[in-house]
Amino acid sequence: MALSAFSFPTYVSKATNSGPHKSSPVTSHFFGAALFSHFSHKLDNHQLKKRPNGVCASLSERGEYHSQRPPTPLLDTINYPIHMKNLSIRELKQLADELRADVIFNVSKTGGHLGSSLGVIELTVALHYVFNAPKDRILWDVGHQTYPHKILTGRRDKMHTMRQTDGLSGFTKRSESEYDCFGTGHSSTSISAGLGMAVGRDLKGRKNNVVAVIGDGAMTAGQAYEAMNNAGYLDSDMIVILNDNKQVSLPTATLDGPIPPVGALSSALSRLQSNRPLRELREVAKGVTKQIGGPMHELAAKVDEYARGMISGSGSTLFEELGLYYIGPVDGHNVDDLVAILDEVKNTKTTGPVLIHVVTEKGRGYPYAEKAADKYHGVAKFDPATGKQFKSSARTQSYTTYFAEALIAEAEVDKDVVAIHAAMGGGTGLNLFLRRFPTRCFDVGIAEQHAVTFAAGLACEGLKPFCAIYSSFMQRAYDQVVHDVDLQKLPVRFAMDRAGLVGADGPTHCGSFDVTFMACLPNMVVMAPSDEAELFHMVATAAAIDDRPSCFRYPRGNGIGVELPPGNKGIPLEVGKGRILIEGERVALLGYGTAVQSCLAASALLESHGLRLTVADARFCKPLDHALIRSLAKSHEVLITVEEGSIGGFGSHVVQFLALDGLLDGTVKWRPLVLPDRYIDHGSPADQLAQAGLTPSHIAATVFNILGQTREALEIMSFKS
Amino acid sequence: MRCSSYGLIIPGSESRFLTTTTTPTTNKKPDRFPRIYPTSVSFGSLKVKAKLNDAAGGTATATAVVDESKELSFYDLLGIPESVSLVEIKQAYKQMARKYHPDVSPPDRVEEYTQRFIRVQEAYETLSDPGLRALYDRDLSMGLHLAFSARRRQQNDVDFQVRSEWRNRWQSQLSELKRRSMNKDAGGNISWAARMRRKRDGLSQEL
């Protein structure tokens, strides 16, 4: 029977297009593969594989997760939210199940964020059913839970390109689709943006709805409160959906198990959930207002207000006080409830800001995710049937892990070393530190600004705080770095992970600006390791610098394989001293950070052309190694500074020094290689580097161009290595 | 056709597609949490219990013995006062079980004893689980002594209880919202948006 699947795909597609009611029984199960042929070309080879027993039954009944695309007859009829409008609630539930299966299948093929997307399947379906995107604005905070949203809004056929070069972005992106109202990636921005859209709508006299979905983790950031406070004051009609899955920390686990939620807010939220409603009292209050009611609206309202304040859950008053009308908690996996509530709120003429507290479970519907400690928050490609991820084995570990080990080694000898991170225990590697020193690791929630000032406070008391914050998230805390740390010259150490281009996460997570904004600060020591051994030494150096703030940056990715210092304990470097790696002539490449590796590769390329370059590792951007730069400038024709950062960073500091020192008045030519003046889209790290023009080939070609050997430059660039 | 032999569900028909295979019994509420894997796998232990209890419930409601023992609370069944610890509940249960087990019951009263045994087992299950026990105690204190079949339905899905509380709560919240919205743009409200709304509505009324 399975073979006959291939013989009439056209019949099948006609049947499905006529709608779920009219599709014959035959189409739904057997020919799942054929159904998709007109949606996704790559399934052509799937049709050739015979299914295990000839029947492709639904996932639920057989409990299997096919490596082939699961059958989704109803989802196949939905390209845009408008196609959902005629579905019944029962069909919506079916759609939710199919959507879940589709998300699991897609993420298993591309990798990405799974747990969060699974938690909001029903919510996404309900939102698109009730509201009319794109006229109605639906904003998703952070954006990593928008995979089902993208599937439902016309991007299903591109889901296999998720997070890849020229493919779909892993977060919402305005330029990708009109259904993505606001670009996200850093958390806690949706309410602010939503309020802006609501107020803009009011000013323009329009009548659409604005819905902002925010998670309980994102609620730990101050901006969410700033936004809610303002929303309560302005009283503009908008809906805030608090997606509460009790996670509040990200990735959502320590090494030894799930992390209890951080902060006092989460216990307030859980009290809300478990609060036994004093319904009897409410009934009494309602009865009283009913009696008073009738023409005495205001009095009744006041009675009700007092009653609510008195007897409602101790957490809901927080939102009420901020001016948002609280509704909930609501079961976030029940499409009935969600549709009913959203419909009611939508049809109420004037609501002001409303907060709907929706309770969901991260990773819901995929047992392996539900049971995992981190709920499969971010996964590599995996096998849906077993949940096992295909992690490629590398010879070396990531810079993140090396940093954690280095810090642990420092903390072993010095009991004043403490570590602070902002809800990124896994991402910064500080989960390892936490396991070793449980009382010396602080997770402050998604609150970078607070983390920096908190570290400043710790430094005042004589401790040695290491603030591990991603380079792009440090942007949030910049004023605190300047005003609270640098101005007062407090010895806070900043460990900026994910510096430079970061690959699949894209420009929202790209750390291009940290050299620029750190090196311009008067008291800051700015350094960058060129490999993992240097990283160990720089951690030791930072621990040793006790009279001023310092920072170091390292990229995403694995080490190159140099020998590590014994016992993971680095040796403090002499501040403001770089090193020469290769002695050559005519042309000098002065690299900063891991760009030095690209310089070494470029020099290897040029060796074969008979050019022997000098390659130097600057190590410090501030204070610069003046002696090194002087010697390079005086003994070479060309000096090229290379860094994976924007304009205004290392290269600018070098040329400033060259100019002031009179070295530019002589014969040396200086050229900078920096990230271009545009945002580099997400993709594989190699592709991004190529787009940025910082690959070894690019560096070599630059050298040739300056030396006037343009033909060789072209040759190197066209050569596909 | 081969599909029917697998019991596959046809879309558009009464039963649901891509949801659990637990055949719903008449007294079971619709599944609140559609899972996409079958209940026979170890994940859904609650559902397995559901099946057990449903099976028991099916036979229980048939006999007339139900009517008599319906009045007994779980505590009476086990012969213990209300404030006992888990250990004592266990002991009482073991005693009762040994007395009423079908294998050791007198042959002429097997059926009656079996029903009793099932009830005792259910009592133990409820009272030994602190969450379920708390719910049961609360019901008892509210004076709601539900029939066993109804009680079992609620026991089966502890979450269902919580969710129905939530539902009542948000339903009342929604009705309040509706009521509030009547006065939202009354003259007294001077918030920015209220002014904008009045202006917008005033303009549209003019048109």
Residue-wise pLDDT tens digits, A74-85: 999 999 999 999
Taking the Cβ of residue A282 and every Cβ of chain B, the question of whether any pair is shorter than 8 Å is answered with yes
- The encoded tokens of residue A655 equal 């040329």
Q: Within the 226-255 window of chain A, which residues sit less than 8 Å (CB to CB) from chain B?
A: 233-237
Lowest-pLDDT choice from A53-67, A587-601, B102-116 = A53-67
Give dist(CA A285, CA B179) in Å, integer. 15
Q: At what angle do helices A279-292 and B158-183 cross, to 10 degrees?
A: 20
d(CA A238, CA A325): 10
CA distance B96 to B149: 21
The span from the CA of A296 to the CA of A340, in Å, is 29
Specify the pLDDT at position A44.
41
What does the longest C-alpha to C-alpha distance in chain B come to? 88
> Which residues of A form the catalytic set?
362, 448, 476
With beta carbons less than 8 A apart as the criterion, state whether A451 and A469 touch.
yes
Contact criterion met (CB < 8 Å) for B166 and A330: yes
Residue A18 reports pLDDT greater than 70? no
- A129 CB near a chain B CB, below 8 Å? no
Q: What is the pLDDT of residue B203?
A: 75
Q: List Cα–Cα distances, B50 to A345, B22, B121, in angstroms.
A: 36, 9, 14
The residues, ordered by sequence, that sit 6+ positions from A530 with a Cβ below 8 Å of its Cβ are: A591, A593, A594, A595, A596, A597, A617, A619
Q: Which positions 656-695 of A are in contact with B (Cβ < 8 Å)?
A: none
Could A234 and B193 be called an inter-chain contact, meaning their C-beta atoms sit closer than 8 Å? yes
- Which residue did the predictor score with more confidence, A281 or A435? A435
More confidently predicted of A571 and A266? A571
Length of chain B: 207
- What 3-state DSSP class applies to A254? strand
Task: Give yes or no for residue A391 having a pLDDT over 90.
Answer: no
Q: Which of B12, B18, B179 sits opposite A59 (nearest CB)?
A: B18
The answer for A 398-417 residues in CB contact with B (under 8 A) is: none
Residue A196 clears pLDDT 70, i.e. is over it: yes
B74-149+163-179 has which CATH code? Answer: 1.10.287.110
Residue A93 and residue B16: Cβ atoms within 8 Å? yes
Q: State the pLDDT confidence band at A470, using cuts at 50, 70 and 90.
A: very high
Phi, psi of A636 (to 5 degrees): -130, 155
Interface contact A328-B166, CB threshold 8 A: yes
Q: Report the percentage of chain A scoring pLDDT > 70.
A: 81
Q: Are the Cβ atoms of B177 and A350 closer than 8 angstroms?
A: no
Mean pLDDT in residue range A526-553? 96
User: Does the distance separating the beta carbons of B203 and A329 come in below 8 Å?
Assistant: no
Residues 624-663 of chain A with CB under 8 A from chain B are none
DSSP-based helix, strand, coil % in chain B, nearest 5? 60, 0, 40
pLDDT in tens, A494-517: 999 999 999 999 999 999 999 999
Q: What gap in Å lies between CA A608 and CA B192, rounded to an integer?
A: 71
For residue A274, which residues of chain B lie inside 8 Å, CB to CB? 162
Beta-carbon pairs below 8 A across chains A and B: 170
Check B11 against A365: CB less than 8 A apart: no
| Confidence (pLDDT) at B187 | 65
φ, ψ of residue A525 to 5 degrees: the values are: -95, 125
Name the residue among A368, A370, A373, A350 with its Cα closest to residue A360: A370
Cα separation, A149 vs A121, in Å, equals: 8
Residue B10, helix vs strand vs coil: coil
Residue A208: other Cβ atoms inside 10 A? 15
Q: Which of A20, A203, A345 lies at the smallest CB-CB distance from B11?
A: A20
Of A309 and A437, the structure prediction assigns the larger pLDDT to A437
Concatenating the DSSP letter of every residue in A402-436 gives HHHHHHHHHHHH-TTEEEEESS-TTTTSHHHHHHH
Q: A466 near A419, Cβ under 8 Å? A: yes
Q: What's the average model confidence in pLDDT over A223-244?
A: 94
Q: In chain A, which residues have their Cβ closer than 8 Å to the Cβ of B7? A: 61
Mean pLDDT, chain A, integer: 85
Q: What is the pLDDT of residue A317?
A: 74
pLDDT of the residue at B163: 81
**Res. A336: pLDDT tops 80:** yes
Length of chain A: 721
Find the closest chain A residue to B201 by CA distance: A205
Give the whole-angstrom CA distance, residue A469 versus residue A475: 10
Task: Specify the pLDDT at position A547.
Answer: 95
| pLDDT > 50? residue A54 | no
pLDDT score for B131: 60
Tens digit of pLDDT for each residue in A619-636?
Answer: 999 999 999 999 999 999
Predicted pLDDT of residue A68: 79
Residue A644: half-sphere exposure toward Cβ, Cα within 13 Å: 32
Convert the pLDDT of each residue in A277-313 to its tens digit.
444 454 555 566 566 555 555 555 555 555 555 545 5
Does residue B33 come out as left (phi exceeding 0), alpha (psi in the -120 to 50 range) or beta? beta
Greater model confidence, A297 or A368: A368
Per the CB < 8 A criterion, the answer to whether A381 and A162 are in contact is no
What pLDDT sits at residue A304?
Answer: 57
Distance of CA A199 to the CA centre of its chain: 28
Of A21, A60, A327, the CB nearest to B177: A327
Q: Mutate which of B5, B36, B47, B184 to disrupt the A interface (most A C-beta within 10 Å)?
A: B36
Confidence of residue A274 (pLDDT cuts 50, 70, 90): low
Give A93's contacts in chain B (Cβ within 8 Å).
16, 19, 34
The contacts of residue B175 (CB under 8 Å, 6+ apart) are none
Q: Which residues of A touch B194 (CB under 8 A)?
A: 235
The pLDDT value recorded for residue A293 is: 52
Contact across the interface for A100 and B36, Cβ inside 8 Å? yes
Mutate to test the interface with B, among A331, A339, A371 (most CBs of B within 10 A): A331
Q: What is the dihedral of CA B168, B169, B174, B176, to 10 degrees?
A: 110
Q: Provide the residue-wise pLDDT of chain B in tens; the chain has 207 residues.
A: 444 434 333 444 444 433 344 444 444 444 444 444 443 333 434 443 444 444 444 344 444 444 444 557 777 777 777 777 777 888 888 888 788 777 777 777 778 887 888 787 777 777 776 666 766 776 666 555 554 455 555 555 667 778 888 888 899 889 989 888 887 777 677 888 888 888 888 877 765
Q: Is A73 in the B-facing interface, judged by CB distances under 8 Å?
A: yes
- With vertex at residue A145, the alpha carbon angle to CA A401 and CA A340, rounded to the nearest 5 degrees, is 150
Q: What pLDDT is stored for residue B84 in this prediction? A: 74
Are A443 and A421 in contact, with CB atoms under 8 Å apart? Answer: yes
Contact between chains at B36 and A344 (C-beta distance less than 8 A): no
How close A567 comes to chain B (CA, Å)?
A: 44
Q: What is the pLDDT of residue A59?
A: 46
Confidence class of residue A671 from pLDDT cuts 50, 70 and 90? very high
How close A187 gets to chain B, by Cα (Å)? Answer: 26
Least Cα separation, residue B191 to chain A (angstroms): 6
**B114: which 2 tokens?**
């079996």
Exposure string for B160-181, b = 16+ CB within 10 A, e = fewer = bbbbebbbebbebbbebbebbb
CB-closest option in A90, A234, A337 to B16: A90
Which of A579 and A254 is assigned the larger pLDDT?
A: A579
Query: What pLDDT shows up at residue A153?
Result: 95
Note the pLDDT tens digit of each residue in A83-128: 999 999 999 999 999 999 999 999 999 999 999 999 999 999 999 9
> How far are the Cα atoms of A89, A273, A275, A278 from residue B166, in angstroms, in the given order?
20, 8, 9, 12
> What is the CA angle A590-A593-A598, rounded to 5?
65
HSE on the CB side for A135, CA within 13 Å?
8
Residue A384 to chain B, least CA–CA distance (Å): 13
> What are the pLDDT digits (tens) for A338-362?
999 999 999 998 889 999 999 999 9
Alpha carbons B64 and A34: distance in angstroms, whole number: 56
* Burial class of A388 by CB neighbour count within 10 A (0 to 12, 13 to 18, 19+): exposed
Q: Which candidate in A3, A12, A29 is best for mutational testing of the B interface (most B CBs within 10 A)?
A: A29
- pTM beyond cutoff 0.80: no
A205 neighbourhood in chain B, CB within 8 Å? 200, 203
A58/B9 touch (CB, cutoff 8 Å), yes or no: yes
Contact across the interface for A58 and B18, Cβ inside 8 Å: yes
Contacts of B169 in chain A (CB under 8 A): 277, 279, 328-329
* Alpha carbons A430 and A319: distance in angstroms, whole number: 33
Average pLDDT rounded to a whole number, residues A28-34: 39
